[in-house]
Chains A and B, each alone.
Chain A
Amino acid sequence: MTTMMMNQMETTVHYDNGYEDEYMMQEDEWDRDMLLDPAWEQQQRKTFTAWCNSHLRKAGTQIENIEEDFRNGLKLMLLLEVISGERLPKPDRGKMRFHKIANVNKALEFITSKGVKLVSIGAEEIVDGNVKMTLGMIWTIILRFAIQDISVEGGTLMQKSKTQKCDDPLGNLNLAFDIAEKHLDIPKMLDAEDIINTPKPDERAIMTYVSCFYHAFAGAEQAETAANRICKVLGVNQENEKMMEEYERLASELLEWIRRTTPWLENRTPEKTKSEMQRKLEDFRDYRRMHKPPKVQEKCQLEINFNTLQTKLRISNRPAFMPSEGKMVSDIASAWQGLEQAEKGFEEWLLTEIRRLERVDHLAEKFRQKATNHENWASGKELILSQKDYETATLTEIRALLRKHEAFESDLAAHQDRVEQIAAIAQELNELDYYDVASVNQRCQSICDLWDKLGTLTQKRREALERTEKLLETIDQLFLEFSKRSAPFNNWMDGAMEDLQDMFIVHTTEEVQSLIAAHEQFKATLPEADAERQAILGIHNEVQKISQSYGIKSSFINPYSTIATEELLNKWEKVKQLVPQRDGALQEEMARQHAHERLRRQFAAQANLIGPWIQARMEEIGRCSLEIGGTLEDQMTQLKQIEHVIIAYKPNIDKLEGDHQLIQESLVFDNKHTNYTMEHIRVGWELLLTTIARTINEIETQILTRDAKGISQQQMNEFRSSFNHFDRKKNGAMETDDFRACLISMGYDLGEAEFARIMMLVDPNATGIVSFQSFIDFMTRETADTDTAEQVVASFRILAADKPYILVDELRRELPPEQAEYCIMRMPPYAGPGAPPGALDYTAFSTALYGESDL
């Protein structure tokens, strides 16, 4: 059983020499073989725990969990004290980490003081509960304090173990463990099943366990020491040689590994992407965490082995071990140093590269973003800038476009920065040697090209807009000018047309003349007006020319004026037509006025003759009627003559009427050539006719009166004279005052009532004048009036034989039949007392006859 174990141990002690170049695979083998195999770990843990507890028992304590219970260092110190039999420094009693580290350090220092090199085992790792480190440390302790002592008597162990049979491996093992525990007081540190079933049981565990056997047997074998000493010495030799071989081998392997690993660490081939580099870094990390530590341990192991060997040799008074060339401790150390140097360099390089790639990636992303943003912004701008919208814009629209363009220009300027940034990034990417820098450059180039293009287009557009604006402004000015001039001109033409078509009513040639003069004045202004028209038209044409030659296509409506050029031209033509028309009209009128004038003169000439002639006749008649000398018959004859003349003159009146008709038909109503109107003449003529008739009639009446009243011519002449005398105004009639004066002069003493009565008689129609006839009537009545009535009454009284009434018979008897019947018919019946029936009142009749009735 033990042999088998030993064999197994032996086989397991050999390291695999089949290393491949890839260090990774080495690591795997290592792991599988040794520490990281969970079965192995488990075995080690178990064995080591048991071993520790076998010693700690003596101190009255145990451990349950080997990776935990040593972490504070206290039990570790205790263990060491028990194993070595020496006292350690006093442990720190604190619970803090540094207390624990201090305690563990105390333990480690003790171990180191015993000549054990603890490479890469640190107090911190133990305090942190690093399993590998803890187990490694325990193993080192075991090695130093248990197995090393065994080395001399290792063969004894082997010999002692050969006795048992191998037919029942499991049973034998278990029996062995039991016996060991019962009789040798060696605790079961291993499981038989584990050892049987595991292809390569943990060497250290087994060694540890076995070491206990040694210790168990050691005391009993002192007697055999002498013979053993030789074996021991030989064994020691063998062992030493083995160890030297082992050292050499390990050294070779390690150096080989270093040699293989170093180039990898010195490789500076950059990767394209950060992730690739990160993977490299990860690989490096794996190397540092997983692959190198075992190598560290190996080195440590190597050192330990070397030290152990040297110590052993020294102890056994053998010459020191001299490793072969290139495998010296210093060689290994320097190779290791080189490795670590390369590591550091590698790590640095990795980090730098990663940083670079990071930066590059970042920049590349930044570039993409910025470029995309810029491209988005720029898309479509080219098209917009190439628009020709200004060709059909109005002035306000152009100005708006300019504003917009200004805004765009500032936007463009703002983007200048960004383009520069993009270019800068591209430049940096070039400097940083970005793997896809070609496409970056291409994109950057296209962006810059487009940028330049945009700049050019912007400039061009600005120029075009400004130019168009200027043109439109010019046109606008022209429009304004047009409107300013066309409005008054239009008004003038309207006024002119009105005037030219003005209806006139004139009555004199002078009026026509002044109209003609005014018209001539107007005609004089025409050339000036025409010039103005030309000017206005010129403005219009100017506008047309500008728009055509500069290709401005916007529709041209003059915003300031509602008058179209065509309208102006039409009006002008009309005005031109109207001018000669008016000339004609005025000339016609002139002719008419001349004709009228002729008529007027004709009439006037006639009337100026007739008027005075009539006047003369009237005076003649007046004189005639007032004449005193000569008889009434003479007067009559004269008057008749005058009448004759008058009648003979009638044709003149008729002719004048004819002239007057002409005048009236021509609607001429005035005539400054004569003061006589037709009406005047008519009235005068009629008056003349009536006057002559009346005057003749008056004379006739006078003749009758004279004859009737028996007035002599002389009396008549007296009456006439009186009358003429008091006819102050000499117009053939007396006024009221004249008559009064006349009466007074004749001796009448008149009261007002009396005078009124008389006036009533002479002027019954209250005309206010007394005619000669009335005067004569009055004068003759006054002398005859009362007498006549009394005489008749007296006459009738005689006939009535003094009675107050008269009888019918008496009338018939005294008067001619006709008169008698007249009286009988007319006489009212007598109403006085004592009258017989049929008595007639001759008094009433008489007074009534003579215009008086007594009532």
Chain B
Amino acid sequence: VENGWVLVEALLQGGAPWGFTLQGGLEHGEPLIISKVEEGGKADSLERPLHVGDELVIINDVELSGFRQEAIALVKGSYKTLKITIRRYTCLHSCVS
């Protein structure tokens, strides 16, 4: 953990749709971020649910290069189980200035 960044591992089961939307990617010079989480969806129903703003780091034990196409391919390649590791910025102290 550095400065409020945490890594969270999520194991989604049951197959697509997984209930989240990816945005960004190295193709656009942006980080790969979760921009939407479907309410009640698989991503939302985890013990530690995924949040908007989480950055994808690893999919199915594959470290991502940052390209969205790659990430999409890896997600779509999963059948019944999808393992995701995200990086989340958590404010440990009061960040409101």
Contact = CB atoms under 8 A, between A and B. Distances in A.
Interface of A: 737, 740-741, 752-757, 759-761, 764, 828, 831, 847-848, 851-855
B45 interface: no
21 contacts: A740-B96, A752-B91, A753-B52, A753-B53, A754-B53, A755-B95, A756-B89, A757-B35, A759-B89, A760-B31, A761-B33, A764-B30, A848-B68, A848-B72, A851-B23, A851-B25, A851-B30, A852-B36, A853-B68, A855-B21, A855-B75
Contacts of B20: 854-855
Nearest to A765: B31
Contacts of B51: 753
B94 to A, nearest CB: 10
Contact of B35 (A740, A752, A831, A852): A852
Contacts of B33: 757, 760-761
Interface string B71-97: 010011000000000001111000111
A740 B96 CA distance: 8
The 3 A-B residue pairs with the shortest CB-CB distance, nearest first, are A757-B53, A756-B89, A737-B97
Nearest to B34: A757
A393 B58 CA distance: 106
A737 B94 CA distance: 12
B4 to A, nearest CB: 9
Contacts of B62: none
B53 A855 contact: no
B22 interface: yes
A852 B53 contact: no
A852 B95 contact: no
Contacts of A852: 21-23, 35-36
Contacts of B40: none
B97 A760 contact: no
Contacts, number: 71
Nearest to A852: B23
Contacts of A764: 29-31
B28 A853 contact: no
A752 B31 contact: no
**Among B21, B35, B55, B91, which residue has the most Cβ atoms of chain A within 10 A?**
B35
Given A760-B53, A851-B23, A851-B30, 11 more contacts: A752-B90, A756-B89, A761-B31, A761-B33, A852-B36, A853-B22, A853-B23, A854-B17, A855-B16, A855-B22, A855-B76
A711 to B, nearest CB: 20
Interface string B12-27: 0000111011111100
Contacts of A740: 96-97
A755 B33 CA distance: 13
A740 B97 CA distance: 8
Interface of A is mostly: helix
Contacts of B17: 854-855
Given A760-B33, A761-B30, A764-B29, A847 B21 contact: yes
B68 A851 contact: yes
Given A760-B33, A764-B31, A852-B35, A754 B52 contact: yes
Interface residues of B, number: 31
A137 B89 CA distance: 184
Contacts of B96: 740
A854 B21 contact: yes
A760 B88 CA distance: 10
Given A851-B24, A851-B25, A760 B55 contact: yes
- Residue with the greatest number of chain A CB neighbours at <10 A, chosen from B18, B23, B96: B23
Contact of A752 (B28, B55, B75, B95): B95
A851 B28 contact: yes
A851 B75 CA distance: 16
A777 to B, nearest CB: 10
Given A737-B97, A752-B91, A754-B52, A855 B31 contact: no
A786 B77 CA distance: 27
Contacts of A754: 52-53
Interface string B24-65: 110011110101100000000000000111010000000000
B6 to A, nearest CB: 11
Contacts of A756: 53, 88-89
B59 to A, nearest CB: 10
B49 to A, nearest CB: 12
Nearest to B95: A752
A753 B30 CA distance: 17
B11 to A, nearest CB: 15
Contacts of B36: 852, 854
Max chain B Cβ within 10 angstroms of own Cβ: one of A737, A761, A851: A851
B88 to A, nearest CB: 8
A735 to B, nearest CB: 10
Query: Which of A760, A764, A848, A853 has most chain B Cβ within 10 Å?
Result: A853
A764 B22 CA distance: 15
A759 B95 CA distance: 13
B96 to A, nearest CB: 8
A853 B21 contact: yes
Nearest to A750: B96
Contacts of B53: 753-754, 756-757, 760
A678 to B, nearest CB: 37
Contacts of A848: 68, 72
A847 B25 CA distance: 12
Contacts of B31: 760-761, 764
Contacts of A753: 51-53, 88-89
A760 B35 CA distance: 11
Most buried by A among B36, B53, B91: B53
A753 B35 CA distance: 11
Nearest to A759: B89
A672 B55 CA distance: 53
B70 to A, nearest CB: 11
Given A752-B91, A756-B89, A853 B72 contact: yes
Nearest to B27: A851
B97 A741 contact: yes
Contacts of B28: 851
A220 B87 CA distance: 212
A752 B90 CA distance: 8
Contacts of A755: 95
Contacts of B72: 848, 853, 855
A502 B3 CA distance: 58
A752 to B, nearest CB: 5
A852 B30 CA distance: 12
A855 B95 CA distance: 32
B81 to A, nearest CB: 14
Contacts of A854: 17, 20-22, 36
Contacts of B24: 761, 851
A852 B20 CA distance: 10
Contacts of B52: 753-754, 757
Contacts of B95: 752, 755
